[in-house]
Structure 1
Amino acid sequence: MKLSVAERGWKNNGLIDTSRFLREFRQNIWKIVLAGVIAGAVAYPLISLMPKQYVSTATVLIKAQQDNVLPFSPVEAYDSTRNGYYETQYALMQSRIVLEQAIKQLGLAQNPQFTGEKAGGAPQSEQQRLDNVLKTLLKHLSINSVRTTHLATVSYESTSAQLSADIANGVARAFIDYSAGQKRLKTRRAAADNQQKLRALRAQIKQQKEAIDRYLAQEGLLVFRGIDGFETGQLDIATSRLADAVQRRVSAQSLYHEARTGSGRSLSTVISLPAVSGPGQMQDLRNAMTQAKRSLYELRKSYGPGHMKILAAQAQVQAIEEQTRQALKEQENGLRQQYQAAQADENNYRNQLEQQKRDFRNLALKREGYNDLKLELDQTQALYKTLYQRTQEQALSVSDSDADAVLYDPAVPAVLSAKPDKRFLLLMSVILALLLASLYYIIRAARGSAVDTASQLPEHFNLEPLGEIPHFSGVNSHEQLRHKIVSDPLNRDTIHSIRSLIMLNPKKLQVITITSAGQGEGRTLLASLLANSFSFDQKTLLIDMDFFNREGLSGELNAPQVPGVADVLCGSKSVDEVLVQLDDRLDFLPGGNVLVSSQLMLSSDRLQPLIETLRTRYQRIIIDAAAVSQGPDVQLINAVTDGLILVLKAGVIPVKPVIAALEKVANGHSVVIGGVLNQVEIREGETKTRGRVRAANSPGFPGMVERS
């Protein structure tokens, strides 16, 4: 089974044909070269006038850690390991406050080149000058980070190499000074805040001391080695004295018990005790007792018991014993009194100790109140000491604040200009012109895949080219256009060539439909001209079946309101009643009065008999049908005709809508004879016979395919 016209058109349209682009390029190569030359000639003086621009770059090192200048921590610390630290520094370098500081340091606000002030112009305010300088500075200033490093580059572009270097270094130094100044400012503010806090702490310490003094006076407390130092000392003394009293009482008690004579001991035993024999009187009595007993012992050796000397000696011994007993009694009374006195002292000291213990226990509650006040005072004094030390550190830090960045590599005036590269710009201008010119001709060749010449019909649609109708400028009506074509032998031969191709077709093409993909493409003109051509030697009928256009073929032939084919299809008129004779061999069947839908008329049972009747009366029948896009009318008409000619407007209708139209009309039973291109632009130097298709060159019409 053969491919349909539409299927072949789709197949061919899917291919990219580069030959036409190459052909267009070869034909216009000299124009493209001329465009490049003209572009170079125009660009050269403009590029030559461009001033040289110098770029100087200063490199700033962002510190990863603070310098250890002072042994104590600064007020403002930073952690370079945090995300975004370096990006923040880079952003601060181009902040408004840093740039304004650089502008003031460099004196750019007085430079008319930056402020934009003109001689004789209105004076600008200080803020206006600063804003204008800032805009100019930002336009030519660039700050970038060096990847994977802690470096940032500050570059400035200017027509002056020295000014470019000065501004790059000025911006870098302004950032460094600003960061150091911010540190100093924060340190001063912190020191001032700490001084205020110190004054408040001193007043608080004074109040707390006064509160302690009032508490001590109110509670009658003394601070001696602590709040309980005095009581503790007194308690120690009382304890020591009690111990001494107990010792004295025990000693006195022991002596008293030893000196007691009523315990059944002999006088000699009692007097020999150390506690008794100690005093001098007892020693004398013991000595006298010893001498008296020795004398009595000697006398007994010489005298008998009754001798006067013996008796006198015995009497003396008894007298000494009586005297000793009396002394012992007195001594015992003395020891008893001494023991009683020691016992009274012990009891007294014991009572004092118990009283001091009770007083000490009562002191514990007062000590807690004092300790609370003392603790608050100690904490306040410790805070004051710390704050005072920090204030002294900040006083030293004010003068030694270090910046967070260093101008590592200052900018120097550039020797060579950075731009413009005039040779490169000139070359790029020429290349761009060549590219644009080439692109123009490529686009013109491809221009939306529209058809410009009849020779493109086989390429895009696999459609036989029957001919071209040229475009005439200044023609406003179909009558004038028809006259232009008929009066010119070359244009007239174009229509006759189409007639010849139809007659040479091996198919019997008695009834021919003229249609188009869209409206206003020239199908009415072609139907009229082709009918006139066939009427030269054949009985021809021209039928207006374009029921959508009341001013179409019927209007041109002055029969817009007369009955016609519509009335015949509706059964209200016969053919002979509506037939209009134009000349001896050419008749015209107007469109008539359309009272119902054209689809109802064309799909009725009267269309086929009507065409068959007309076939018997005319050798050639030309039908002007509506456009394919207007509805299925052409498909209904195509079912009863022998062939169809598609009229296309050159350079307007894209390929895809035409292929879609061919797909619709190819579903009928008639042959798609070919296509005629209307309003073709004839370029200077080309002949009007370019669009003619000679029958001798198309034997058998291989491009004309009947739907199988």
Structure 2
Amino acid sequence: MTISIIENGKKLESTIDFSNFLKEFKRYRLRVILAVLTVTLVAFPLIYSMTPQYSATATIILKAQSDNSTPIDQVEDFDATQAEYYPTQAEVLQSKRVIEAAVRQLDLQNDPLFEIKSTDKVISEDEHVSQIVHAIEKKLSISPVRFSQLVKVSYESNSAEMSAMVTNAVINAYIHLEEQRKIEKTQQAQEWNTTRMAELKEKITQQKSAIDTYLSDNGLLTYQGVDGFETEQLALVNDRLATAKEKRITAKASYNTISEALGYPLEDVATLPSISNHAQLQDLRIALIQAKRSLFDLQKKYGPKNPLILEANAQIEAIKLQTTSLLKELKTGLYKEYQASVERENKYRALLNEQRKNFTKLASKRDAYNTMKADLDKTQELYEKIFLRSKEQELTMLYREPAATLLDPATPPNKPSKPNKALFIIMIFVMTFILSLLFIIIKAALNKSVNNITQVRTRLGLEAIGELRPFNYIEDLPLFSKGFFAHSYSGETIHAIRTSILLNEKSWPTIGLVSTDSDENNELSSYLLAHSLSQDRSTLLIDLDFRKEVSLTEEILMAQPSEDALSSSTAEKEVAEVLPTLTVMGMAEILENNHSINDCIIPLEDNLSLLPRGTLTSTPLLTLSSPELELKLKEVSQQFEQIIIHLPALSESKDTQLIARYLSGVIYTVKAGTLSTNHILTNIDKLTQLQTPIIGAILNNVADDELETEEAQQQLIHQNEDLLS
């Protein structure tokens, strides 16, 4: 078997079967109706005696930001952009401080509705107000409207007027207290600023005195900063050094030019840029040109020896000598000027180096001064800001800005808000009905027993081959059987089981009947089935239950046999002699002492015989584990067409597991409404592990309203007709 019956049963058991709930409801419907009506009628006077409550509601708008009535910023201790702002204000609305202010505003401590309950202890007015605040707090409701700045305030009271008065008073108290809180906050800030201003003013005086002392001790001037004068002096010396250096270079260049020009022709020297602008040199150059022109004119008129020509040449030579002398003088002067420029340059360089050293030393003093000056500037800046804010707060203390606006004031309601008495009655009716249904559903859900053949299929995964109604059972099985089959409709229930077996495709020559517990009427089912099968075939009923004190054998043989039956054979006479003691031989003697089977078989009716269990001298497990058991069962199967074996309960021993190995199939007997499904499935699994085929299940002791087979329903119908007739 690829899938065991136990797994199949668990799968089917997990399905929801609503028919069980419907049957339970049908069974308890009158009780449910009675319970619902009783509870509703009991609650009716209690509900209509309840005091009506009136609820008045007002709507306010919480301000998200300050008014722009004044350009001066207010002193605020909240941030309306935060998500927590509106829930916080809603909680402030129902705080004890706000409610107490409303109580004192309305003078509720002297109102008859809030009078002190009669007590032996005398309480003060404050304690009385505290009690009123506590009472109002319980009935005050604050409901912020989502995604808006609106808040709804409601209060419930026995009086419609009081509900409206308290609601409006709470809102007014909240607005007033928020205004006072802002004023107090501004006053505290203004006082704090005044104190800080005095401290800062004293600190500024001390910082200025420290700076003056520092400047005086270090001989510093504050001309364009601490190092302003030194910076200008250093720049001036640096400029003079640069000028001296430039003059030195210029003098050196001019000197070098004149020194080189002394070896050049006079005409070339006169064209040099550095000396061509000299006034005397320009005059000599002009004189030289005029002398050469005169010489040229004279040479055209006179000969070379002419005194005029000689005079002109002498004049030209004199001019050249004078020019050479002038150049030498310029050279001497430029050299002196160069030396003077070098001396000035060295002087300014030395002075610059000295001033650099002094300026470097001044840097640390400048940094210290700058630090002190920056500290003073920051202190003065902070003082100015606090001074400005303090003056602003003096003005804002006179300004009143409400934290909320009353949009819709509360008005006395015309109708009470609760209780809705008709709704209460309906709710109690519906709730009682629902609880009753819930009880039925839980009861049905917790009931894991098998009550009908449908549940045999769904919960156990077995094929239901028949069902039996409860029996008026008597211990005399033959007598009971005779009366049972005397009524055709009761006999039909057993014959239906026989028919289910015969209609099966497979033949079942050796069938065992087993149950979970020993009190599930397995003996009766075995005997009735054997009796039904014996109608058209030779049938042997074997009793192999060695565990019960009163066995199937004893229940069958307790009745006295008839004289005709006893005189039929010698063996029967021997049985008749031992019947009173019920010590007949059976399967125990066959297996243990190797007695003949024929000597132990007892004929009961036509085609029906009994093989008793006998008396064991050993334990059942040792006897039933004998290899002879299989041989003996094969032997009797050759003598009889059908063998029915009554097996012991599965939950009480392993006897059935030893026997089931040699059977063609097993029929499982289940007593309706007793054992849980899990317990039955656990024991069925013992057979499944042996791979013994389970033909199906017989469900006995089935309640009349759980019957499903045609035969059982027909039996019930004719039984009721007989009772009516």
Q: TM-score range by the shorter chain?
A: 0.5 to 0.7
Q: Which has the larger radius of gyration?
A: 1
Q: Does the 8 Å CA contact 2:544/2:648 hold for their aligned counterparts? A: no
Instruction: Determine the structure 2 residue equivalent to 1:605.
Output: 627
Give the Cα–Cα distance (whole angstroms) in 2 for the partners of residues 37 and 528 of structure 1: 50
TM-score (norm 1): 0.57
Give the Cα–Cα distance (whole angstroms) in 1 for the partners of residues 165 and 407 of structure 2: 15
Q: Does 2:673 correspond to 1:651?
A: yes
Q: Structure 1, residues 297-331: CA drift from partner, whole Å, max 9, x if none?
A: xxxxxxxxxxxxxxxxxxxxxxxxxxxxxxxxxxx
Give the Cα–Cα distance (whole angstroms) in 1 for the partners of residues 16 and 54 of structure 2: 50
Give the Cα–Cα distance (whole angstroms) in 1 for the partners of residues 121 and 639 of structure 2: 95
Flag the 1:185–1:544 CA change in 2: closer, same or farther, 3 A.
farther
Instruction: Determine the structure 2 residue equivalent to 1:412.
Output: 411
Q: Does the 8 Å CA contact 1:5/1:463 hold for their aligned counterparts? A: no
SS at match of 1:608: helix
Cα distance, 1:416 vs. partner? 1.0
Q: Does 2:699 correspond to 1:676?
A: yes
Instruction: Determine the structure 2 residue equivalent to 1:68.
Output: 68
Q: Structure 1, residues 151-191: CA drift from partner, whole Å, max 9, x if none?
A: 11122233332332233334333433343333223222212
TM-score (norm 2): 0.56
Matches within 5 A, 1:92-491: 92-95=92-95, 98-99=98-99, 102=102, 118-120=117-119, 136-207=135-206, 380=379, 383-437=382-436, 448=447, 450-453=449-452, 462-470=463-471, 482=475
Cα distance, 1:589 vs. partner? 0.8
Q: Does the 8 Å CA contact 2:477/2:524 hold for their aligned counterparts? A: no
Q: Does the 8 Å CA contact 1:6/1:659 hold for their aligned counterparts? A: yes
Instruction: Determine the structure 1 residue equivalent to 2:49.
Output: 49
Flag the 1:676–1:147 CA change in 2: closer, same or farther, 3 A.
closer
* Letter of the 1:80 counterpart: A
Give the Cα–Cα distance (whole angstroms) in 2 for the partners of residues 455 and 464 of structure 1: 11
Q: Does the 8 Å CA contact 1:639/1:669 hold for their aligned counterparts? A: yes
Flag the 1:55–1:602 CA change in 2: closer, same or farther, 3 A.
farther
Instruction: Determine the structure 1 residue equivalent to 2:524.
Output: 526
Give the Cα–Cα distance (whole angstroms) in 1 for the partners of residues 129 and 623 of structure 2: 84
* Letter of the 1:398 counterpart: M
Q: Does 2:600 correspond to 1:589?
A: no
Flag the 1:643–1:147 CA change in 2: closer, same or farther, 3 A.
same
* Letter of the 2:71 counterpart: P
* Letter of the 2:698 counterpart: G
* Letter of the 1:589 counterpart: R
Q: Does the 8 Å CA contact 2:588/2:613 hold for their aligned counterparts? A: no
Cα distance, 1:208 vs. partner? 5.0
Instruction: Determine the structure 1 residue equivalent to 2:59.
Output: 59
SS at match of 1:522: coil
Give the Cα–Cα distance (whole angstroms) in 2 for the partners of residues 59 and 151 of structure 1: 7
Instruction: Determine the structure 1 residue equivalent to 2:250.
Output: none
Cα distance, 1:96 vs. partner? 5.5
Cα distance, 1:632 vs. partner? 7.6
Cα distance, 1:88 vs. partner? 3.5
Q: Does the 8 Å CA contact 2:98/2:173 hold for their aligned counterparts? A: yes
Give the Cα–Cα distance (whole angstroms) in 2 for the partners of residues 54 and 675 of structure 1: 68
* Letter of the 1:51 counterpart: T
Comparing 606-615 and 67-76, the one that deviates more: 606-615
Q: Does the 8 Å CA contact 1:486/1:492 hold for their aligned counterparts? A: no
Instruction: Determine the structure 1 residue equivalent to 2:646.
Output: 624
In the alignment, structure 2 segments of 5+ residues that lack a partner are: 230-354, 559-580, 719-725
Cα distance, 1:581 vs. partner? 8.6
Flag the 1:190–1:12 CA change in 2: closer, same or farther, 3 A.
closer
Flag the 1:164–1:487 CA change in 2: closer, same or farther, 3 A.
farther
SS at match of 1:167: helix
Q: Structure 1, residues 588-623: CA drift from partner, whole Å, max 9, x if none?
A: 315846659x4x876763222122345578898653
Give the Cα–Cα distance (whole angstroms) in 2 for the partners of residues 641 and 574 of structure 1: 22
Q: Does the 8 Å CA contact 1:531/1:540 hold for their aligned counterparts? A: no
Q: Structure 1, residues 566-605: CA drift from partner, whole Å, max 9, x if none?
A: 7865x57657899799999766315846659x4x876763
Cα distance, 1:462 vs. partner? 4.2
Give the Cα–Cα distance (whole angstroms) in 1 for the partners of residues 8 and 198 of structure 2: 102
Q: Does the 8 Å CA contact 1:528/1:542 hold for their aligned counterparts? A: no
Q: Does 2:111 correspond to 1:85?
A: no
Cα distance, 1:48 vs. partner? 0.8
Cα distance, 1:395 vs. partner? 2.9
Give the Cα–Cα distance (whole angstroms) in 1 for the partners of residues 457 and 170 of structure 2: 71
Instruction: Determine the structure 1 residue equivalent to 2:272.
Output: none
Cα distance, 1:392 vs. partner? 2.9
Comparing 660-669 and 93-102, the one that deviates more: 660-669
SS at match of 2:395: helix
Cα distance, 1:66 vs. partner? 0.3
Give the Cα–Cα distance (whole angstroms) in 2 for the partners of residues 485 and 146 of structure 1: 85
Give the Cα–Cα distance (whole angstroms) in 1 for the partners of residues 446 and 623 of structure 2: 40
Cα distance, 1:61 vs. partner? 0.5
Q: Structure 1, residues 257-296: CA drift from partner, whole Å, max 9, x if none?
A: xxxxxxxxxxxxxxxxxxxxxxxxxxxxxxxxxxxxxxxx
Q: Does the 8 Å CA contact 2:24/2:444 hold for their aligned counterparts? A: yes
Comparing 457-466 and 386-395, the one that deviates more: 457-466
Instruction: Determine the structure 2 residue equivalent to 1:637.
Output: 659
Cα distance, 1:379 vs. partner? 5.7
Q: Does the 8 Å CA contact 2:167/2:410 hold for their aligned counterparts? A: yes
Cα distance, 1:642 vs. partner? 5.9
Flag the 1:179–1:529 CA change in 2: closer, same or farther, 3 A.
farther
Instruction: Give me the identity figure in percent.
Output: 29
Cα distance, 1:382 vs. partner? 5.2
Comparing 20-29 and 483-492, the one that deviates more: 483-492
Give the Cα–Cα distance (whole angstroms) in 2 for the partners of residues 139 and 579 of structure 1: 90
Give the Cα–Cα distance (whole angstroms) in 1 for the partners of residues 5 and 627 of structure 2: 29
Cα distance, 1:9 vs. partner? 8.5
SS at match of 1:589: coil
Cα distance, 1:493 vs. partner? 7.0
Flag the 1:162–1:606 CA change in 2: closer, same or farther, 3 A.
farther
Q: Does the 8 Å CA contact 2:637/2:643 hold for their aligned counterparts? A: yes
Comparing 52-61 and 535-544, the one that deviates more: 535-544
SS at match of 1:464: strand
Cα distance, 1:56 vs. partner? 1.5
Instruction: Determine the structure 2 residue equivalent to 1:313.
Output: none
Flag the 1:673–1:367 CA change in 2: closer, same or farther, 3 A.
closer
